[in-house]
Structure 1
Amino acid sequence: MALTERERQILEKIEQNPMISQNDLAQLCGITRSGVAAHISNLMKKGYIQGKGYVLTPPRYVAVIGAINMDVYGIADNDVVGESSNVGSIVSAVGGIARNVCYNLGHLGVRNYLISVYGDDEEGENVRSDSFANGIDITYCKQFSNSSTSRYLSVVDANGKQIVALDDMKISENITPEFLEQREQIIINAEAVVIDSSLPPQTIAWVCSKVSRPIFARVVSVNKATRLLPVLDHVDTLVLSEAESRLVSGIAVHDEQTAHVCMEALAKTGVKHTLMFVQGVGLIYRGDDETVTVPLPESASHAMRYENGAASGAMSALLWARMEGRDDSQSAHLAAAAAALSMRQVTSVFPEINARVLLEHAGLGA
């Protein structure tokens, strides 16, 4: 017998945590406990549940914890003149590292759950619409009343190079250990967990204390990079730029040689794999068996290079490559391909990304 949308929602949560209580189900689904009991009774009658704690093992999935933003991009038409108005274009779109990773993973065929927060403002409604339109599962997100959705403002020059960026991510302070405890089973049962340094320090520490599967961490901005310092020994894969490298390793990176020194220092702290973007060099990935450098060439038909989504694209590809059993060289080339694709448009994801496109652009065929 067919499931209703509510029954499907409840069944999905039970699949992730067979021992979940009806009170917890009611809270996550936003309905009463008696309503949950009625839906569970229907699921049992339909044969989907044979008793508490007796369900099939769920398929592999990734838990992604971090921000959803409303991104606003200002693109100058000409050289930017300070302390003056400049002619250009303004584009807005739903983004944020966690959301972008979920978008990419979903299009690559990796089941995932976004764990985040957003407001009850117009931008929050845009978040909901974007998630439904792009198949992003926000079941474990929470919409806060009387709160503003996180915003990110980026101004880039006529060549696509970022001049300055501002973020207003106060709502992300609600992603607390207590918030995650209500979603603990979905986190600890994940094949891998993605976090970024915009999360509160105590939240990062909670994740690292609970998760035994690989943790993929993205360093976000020089202002928040040091939040990962206490937990580097828990990080499987770290993604960062040369500007952020000194803050997490104590080593300033300015070329390929210093990047290798930095990665070696990070390895001594316990970081198993490192992916770094270095200006004038490209993408460098230190894997299990080798360190691979892949340039990020500019195509004649895509001279503009918008960098905002490059790291999220690369991390998504690395995670997909891991789940596909790819070696270090293939992983690096897939990450570079995803980064290059993301640079083609001002918004942070390449709309047509999928496994076939990624393999083709990485030179790995289908």
Structure 2
Amino acid sequence: MSGSVSKKEQLFALVSANPYVTQQELADALHLSRSAVAGHIAGLIREGRILGRAYMFPETRAILCIGGANIDRKLRTAAPLRMGTSNPVSQHESYGGVARNIAENLARLGVSAALMCAIGDDASGKGLMNHAKSSGIDTSGSLHVSGACSGTYTAILDHSGELVLALAHMELCELLNRDFLISRRSQLNAAAMIVADMNLPPDSIQLLMNEALVNNKPLIIVAVSQPKMARLPAVLNGVRLLILNQAELEQRLVTRFSSHEGIIGGCLQLQAQGVTDVIVTLGAEGVIFTDAKRGLPAQHLAAHQAEVVDVTGAGDAFAAAVCWSLHQTPDDMQLACQRGLQLAALTIKTETSVLQTLDATIFNEG
């Protein structure tokens, strides 16, 4: 066994020095058969240490976002909403979905981003994929479902831009099941970080948690709604970070919180269930976050002051900036939250779900 390991490490060193080396050249240098070389390479790919020809290395690995991708339809009332009657509205359509929005934000921030979602073969699905590719997102792991309609998210906003009601048609995400994820295991293993939204079926979330434990890979789970909190397993071992809002936290713990101290107590309950860190978003009140990696107590950060144009996408922007920051500086949760709040404030000033002028220079100040 020790000889086999030694040969594999020698092979890894040769590939590191020359990613374009051929298998025959490796076989000659190591005095191995071509089949033995192929076996070692397959093992390195399974371990996520190289990503196949031309043997891309972890420094270039993508942040893989798994979950919802859909068409966002935003209807904004021209005056205060009146129930039980017709309300004049303006309408705006864009590409959305929690995982998709996070992936686009990440790509615009300049990191390698991949999206694993399920879309139909309709015009919406084709548009979603074309837009993602044009944004620099790798969509090669996504599922294309013949004869299906792609997902939609319809948000009703009041005249001030605040969300009144949202209607989500996300049933294609049910096809991102355990068997599908296993079929994409090489891409899962190759990712630098996995960001999963809770549109995924429960068995898929459990699989990602199990593999994060085995592979010591950061897994960030982003809640999407109160009803889908039921998809989160009882034991949260393997989750590096859970991002959710106060209502979703209350749904999980079957408890109402009336103070920041109560919310901090709720975060500690989630940590007792196995998650490493928790971020609770509080809208205009900012966020509460834990910082287990540095052994610091839970803290509150105030939100940035911003004129609200449209809140849709602000939470996804926050999550993306947090993921980007943790990818750069893995153990600084406070910095990640500060960056998240900064990007969220910029996003709510626009009508788009993703800030179209976004790049990493926005974090240079401070």
Q: Mark the runs of 5 or more structure 2 residues left unpaired by the alignment.
A: 1-10, 12-18, 24-37, 42-52
CA contact (8 A) 2:105 2:358 kept: yes
Contact 2:66/2:195, CA 8 A, preserved across alignment: yes
What amino acid does structure 1 have at the position aligned with 2:333? D
1:153-172 superposed matches below 5 A: 153-172=154-173
Q: Which residue of 2 aligns with 1:298?
A: 305
1:70 corresponding residue in structure 2: 71
Aligned residue number for residue 354 of structure 2: 349
Deviation at 1:279, TM superposition (A): 4.7
Q: In the alignment, which residue of structure 2 is the partner of 1:340?
A: 345
Please, which moves more after superposition, 210-219 or 318-327?
318-327
Residue in 2 aligned with 1:122? 123
The answer to whether the 8 A contact 1:205-1:231 is kept is: no
1:283 aligns with 2:255: no
1:181–1:50 CA distance, 2 compared to 1 (3 A)? same
How far apart are the structure 2 equivalents of 1:113 and 1:185? Answer: 13
Distance in 1 between residues matched to 2:303 and 2:118, nearest whole Å: 33
Deviates more, 1:179-188 or 1:148-157: 179-188
Contact 1:334 1:359 in 2 (8 A): no
> Helix, strand or coil for the counterpart of 1:230?
coil
State the alpha-carbon separation in 2 of the partners of residues 267 and 249 from structure 1.
12
Distance apart, 1:89 and its partner CA: 0.8
Whole-angstrom CA distance in 1 between matches of 2:126 and 2:54:
34
Match of 1:256 in 2: 260
Matches within 5 A, 1:1-366: 48=20, 50-51=22-23, 52=38, 53=41, 56-58=55-57, 59-211=60-212, 212=215, 213-279=217-283, 281-288=285-292, 289=294, 290=296, 291-299=298-306, 303-325=307-329, 327-360=332-365, 364=366
**For the Cα contact (< 8 Å) 1:208–1:231, is it kept in 2?**
no
Partner-residue secondary structure (3-state), 2:90 = strand
Normalised by the length of structure 2, the TM-score is 0.80
C-alpha displacement of 1:57: 4.4
**TM (normalized to structure 1)?**
0.80
Give the counterpart letter for 1:84 in structure 2.
Answer: T
Q: Which amino acid aligns with 2:302?
A: P
Letter in 1 for 2:305: E
Alpha-carbon deviation of 1:292? 3.3
By how many angstroms is 1:56 displaced?
A: 3.0
Change (3 A) 1:96 1:224: same
Amino acid at match of 2:159: A
Per-residue CA deviations over 1:291-330 (Å, capped at 9, x if unaligned) read 332222333xxx2253331221112111111122262332
Output one character per residue of 1:110-167: Cα deviation in whole Å (capped at 9) or x when no partner.
2121111101111112112211321121111122110000111110101111111111
Q: Matched residue pairs, number? A: 313
Gaps of 5+ in 1: 1-17, 19-46
| Alpha-carbon shift at residue 49 of structure 1 (Å) | 5.8
CA RMSD between the two structures: 2.0
CA deviations on 1:207-234 (whole Å, 9 max, x unpaired) are: 2222331110011111101211334222
- Please say if residues 279 and 290 of structure 2, whose CA atoms lie closer than 8 Å, have aligned partners that are also in contact: yes
- 1:183 Cα deviation (Å)? 1.0
- Deviation track 1:178-206 (CA, whole Å, cap 9, x = no partner) reads 11112101102322111111111111112
| C-alpha contact (below 8 Å) 1:63/1:187 kept by paired residues | yes
Kept in 2: contact 1:104–1:349 (CA 8 A): yes
Closer/same/farther in 2, CA of residues 95 and 280 from structure 1, 3 Å limit: closer
Residues 1:132 and 1:188: Cα distance change in structure 2 (over 3 Å): closer
Give SS of 2:95's match.
strand
Is 1:255–1:281's contact at 8 Å kept on the other side of the alignment?
Answer: no
Q: Secondary structure at the match of 1:229?
A: coil
Counterpart Cα distance in 2 of 1:344 and 1:208 = 35
